A and B are shown apart, each in its own frame.
Chain A
Amino acid sequence: MKRTHSLTLRLFNIGLVCLLVAATARAAEPVRYKARPGSKVRIDGSANIHDWSMEGTIIAGWFEVPPGTTIDSSQAGIGGMSGDKLNATAEVSIPVDSMHSGKQGMDDVMQQAMDSKDHPRIIYKLTDMTLKQPHTAGTPFEFNTKGNLSINGVTKPVSMLVTVENADKNKLKIIGGPVDINMTDYKVPPPTKFGLFTTKPDVKISFTWIVGLPKLGPGQ
């Protein structure tokens, strides 16, 4: 009887140690937010006759912050963050054929110009994220960011202002841009029509990206 009790206690202790190790390991893992539906991306351009725009609603990818970091815009600071630099990484991808202007011809031309067959996605990789100014609880965090933007297979560094705020309990709303882009830098020829309608190479990209923590199972 005593031996049985001792064995049970030993097994309990082993289990407890395993749980603690697992919890520690989990806490040591980066916090990864994954893309969720509800996003929006917009490209605004101009031309010699009138302005044009394209919109999309799909932004894939992930946003990752160091272990123990908690981002909650209702709080003054970011838990686990020291100084004004957030060691975050992110990879964002936007399917080129999900962008629509409302005019099929324009969509086709832009997809051709961006070589959507060989480069089906616009890709952005975050390399630097620094708080622009001290944060006031209840307002979005404001960050100056740097990253690399790939369009049409051409990658260029870009900087932009990004705000981060709570979307709901487990989701963040990340708003970026407008980022000024020159299409010719990415070897995207500005579309023209019969030489009469000519788009200008400068465009602005802005987005609202929804990301969320992995869905927890029942009871968690």
Chain B
Amino acid sequence: MSQNEANPGQNDFTRRDFIRSTASLGSLMLLMGGTPIYADDTPKQAETNFVAEDFTPVNFGVIGCGARGKEIIQTLALLPGGAQKDGTPNPPNAPVVAICDNYKASLHKVQEYAPKAQQYQDYHKLLEQPDVECIVVATPSHLHKDIVIAALQAGKHVYCEAPLATTVEDALAIAKAAKAAPKVNFQAGLQMRSDPGKEFVLKFVHTGAVATPVMARSQWHKRESWRKAAPTPERDKEINWRLDRTTSPGLAGEIGVHQYDLVCWMLGKKPTAITGFGSILDPSLQDGRDVADTIQTIMQFPGKVNSYFDCTLANSFDGEYDMIYGTGAAILFRPESLGQPYTPAKAWLFEEVDSQNFGWEVYAAKEQFYKEIGITLSAGASHSTDSKKKMVDVPFQESTLHYALKAFRNNSKATKIVAKNFTDSYGDDPEGLVAELAKPENLKERLAAAGYKEGYEATVIAIKANEAVLKGEKVLLPKEIFEIA
């Protein structure tokens, strides 16, 4: 399951908006002195960048056409196809040419978004379709392993939704298969790893913006049942796999995996232990399920830094956010800033008065705070101007799924080119190819994305977090568990 950070809206922040929305989070942040951190929205292209990007189509197949699969197919259909020099739009550059689901009704539900796609109920048949280059696996998490391994062995690039699996053994099998297949691109569905905004902010974190990290906190609150209507008991078991402990990694696995990964990424560390609690507390959700509707977990990191995560299906207050606290500043990641439901993820920096003043900070304050000063001044004015629009322009307006799939498409193509050129030139040499792909010249061609390593590590943490929740106790995470031998 992914986190819902879709389709941001535009903001045009005026004084009236400011007054109207003083209760909104964004205004509150401004009043509290938070400095919004934006990624540079200027395309990183010099004059030599004659074309915005490479729009050569790459064919996709999607396996698993439930709600998530539908969202993926819709997102793929909207990946930019670019335009000809005369402005004529190109067709989508990620056409979905094959879809698969073992439940025929699910295929019917998505076919309007991929009308030319070949339909399958057996994924083996889809993998035999020769023009399919990229596979997105969006089946229930406990069914990923066999599909992913078969797809990799068929020479397809694979995007596997997170968590990669519901057992450490399955996750390890996937990671090993991906590692053994350097000619194809494997991407774990940790979509926040592809979010340009987060990548940008993490550079601040990693260069000491918060000084010494002391703790982190994440939450995901949403009032929903997770139960889906089914016509038969058999279908009910299939479609409501998240509600059954034998098939579900619980809230920790399905939701927490993204936020555990973000915290680990921010801190640059892996946890050594995790403690969990969880229960079914909402009377309306006591419907035969045995998966907790409310959980809390605490990850312990080396250096005695802890990260707290709470997640509930019983209450939606304050939605979703992630924070890292340090001795110099705190950074907040929040998708629904400024009170808008679909604004993209933003980050806010809250500095301590005694925080050290670094060189970059002075620079960032001038660059970034320039706009914020502008906002304050504009809010004091009574008219709307272009400059005000600029002040609240949001640089990255697409969902994190959009960026993740765009990265998958781009990186699959880049991997294919390098693998072909390398093999044609030097013969079959898997180790040499791995080294070639890791060269800076080739890394420059890739967009940020989670690979098998990040996917495996986050999945292990999420599975162990769920284990801790089920046991209600601390579960140790020895460093060997993260090794992909």
Q: CB within 8 Å of B: which residues of A?
A: 35-37, 47, 49-50, 52, 55-61, 93, 95, 97-98, 100-109, 191, 193, 196-197, 199
Q: Which A residues lie within 8 Å of B49 (CB)?
A: 103-106
- Tell me, in angstroms, the Cα distance from A57 to B442 when the chains sit together: 9
Q: Is the CB of A108 within 8 A of B441?
A: no
Can you show 15 pairs from A to B with CB atoms below 8 A apart? A37-B429, A55-B441, A56-B441, A58-B426, A58-B436, A95-B421, A95-B424, A98-B417, A100-B442, A102-B444, A104-B51, A105-B52, A106-B48, A107-B54, A196-B47
Interface residue? B482 (CB, 8 A) = no
Smallest CB separation, B83 vs chain A (Å): 14
Smallest CB separation, A120 vs chain B (Å): 9
Contacts A105-B50, A193-B48, A197-B48; A100 near B441 (Cβ below 8 A): yes
Smallest CB separation, B81 vs chain A (Å): 15
Q: Is the CB of B424 within 8 A of A60?
A: yes
- Tell me, in angstroms, the Cα distance from A57 to B429 when the chains sit together: 15
Contacts A105-B48, A108-B54; A98 near B418 (Cβ below 8 A): yes
Smallest CB separation, B443 vs chain A (Å): 10
Interface residue? B45 (CB, 8 A) = yes
* Chain B 168-202 residues near chain A, CB threshold 8 A: none
Interface residue? B380 (CB, 8 A) = no
Q: Is the CB of A37 within 8 A of B48?
A: no
- Tell me, in angstroms, the Cα distance from A190 to B445 when the chains sit together: 23
Q: Is the CB of B51 within 8 A of A105?
A: yes
Q: Is the CB of A57 within 8 A of B436?
A: yes
Q: Is the CB of A49 within 8 A of B421?
A: no
Interface residue SS majority, chain A: mixed
Most buried by A among B45, B49, B422, B432: B49
Interface residue? B105 (CB, 8 A) = no
Q: Is the CB of A100 within 8 A of B48?
A: no
Q: Which B residues lie within 8 Å of A98 (CB)?
A: 417-418, 421
Smallest CB separation, B167 vs chain A (Å): 37
- Tell me, in angstroms, the Cα distance from A49 to B424 when the chains sit together: 37
- Tell me, in angstroms, the Cα distance from A57 to B425 when the chains sit together: 11
- Tell me, in angstroms, the Cα distance from A37 to B50 when the chains sit together: 31
Q: Is the CB of B429 within 8 A of A58?
A: no
Contacts A105-B52, A105-B53; A49 near B47 (Cβ below 8 A): yes
Interface residue? B439 (CB, 8 A) = yes
Q: Which B residues lie within 8 Å of A109 (CB)?
A: 50-51
Q: Which A residues lie within 8 Å of B229 (CB)?
A: none
Contacts A98-B417, A196-B47; A60 near B426 (Cβ below 8 A): yes
Q: Which B residues lie within 8 Å of A59 (CB)?
A: 425
Q: Is the CB of B417 within 8 A of A37?
A: no
Q: Is the CB of A103 within 8 A of B422?
A: no
Contacts A37-B436, A100-B445, A102-B444; A108 near B50 (Cβ below 8 A): yes
- Tell me, in angstroms, the Cα distance from A197 to B47 when the chains sit together: 7
* Chain B 424-456 residues near chain A, CB threshold 8 A: 424-426, 429, 432, 435-436, 439, 441-442, 444-445
- Tell me, in angstroms, the Cα distance from A104 to B447 when the chains sit together: 12
Smallest CB separation, A34 vs chain B (Å): 8
Smallest CB separation, A95 vs chain B (Å): 4
Q: Is the CB of B432 within 8 A of A105?
A: no
- Tell me, in angstroms, the Cα distance from A35 to B421 when the chains sit together: 12
* Chain B 402-426 residues near chain A, CB threshold 8 A: 417-418, 421-422, 424-426
